Amino acid sequence: MSKKQNIDFEQILKNVGFNILFAFLTMLVVINFYQDILLETVLLVIIAIFGLMKWKSKITLAIFAVGGIIGTFSEIIAVNYGVWNYMISNFINVPVWLFILWGNASAFIYQTALEIKKLGIKK
């Protein structure tokens, strides 16, 4: 294995580590601050900004936005049909931070898939 491949593998591990930390912090904020919508939203936005700055990708930004919109819209539909509900909400029966949460989840999945693809893993 050449030195270039080792450096790439190390970078992939660093990137995956960042992605895992990003997902962990996102869930930690959701679990610990769900009762304070404003604080939770601000913290999730900060995490999202750090992730999007690290990834520096217009595609990731687009995936974040589309994932946030589709995910939140799906939650609104589910809540309106009584599938589940949120004890604390402020936007059409859901908390506004759900948009950021779904955006973070979408960006995380996309970026993690890119790292796996770099390893050459197929099916």
CA distance 42 to 87: 19
The residues that bridge with 91 in the sheet, in sequence order, are 94
For residue 43, pLDDT over 50 is answered with yes
Mean pLDDT, rounded, for 79-90: 93
Q: Pick from 22, 15, 66: which is nearest to 47 by CA? A: 22
Q: Quote the tokens at residue 10.
A: 């190390």
Pick the more confident residue, 53 or 89: 53
Radius of gyration of the chain (CA): 17
Looking up tokens 């990708």 gives: 57
pLDDT in tens, 3-22: 454 458 889 999 999 999 99
The residues that bridge with 94 in the sheet, in sequence order, are 91
Over the chain, what is the mean pLDDT?
A: 92
| Domain extent listing, the chain | 3-118
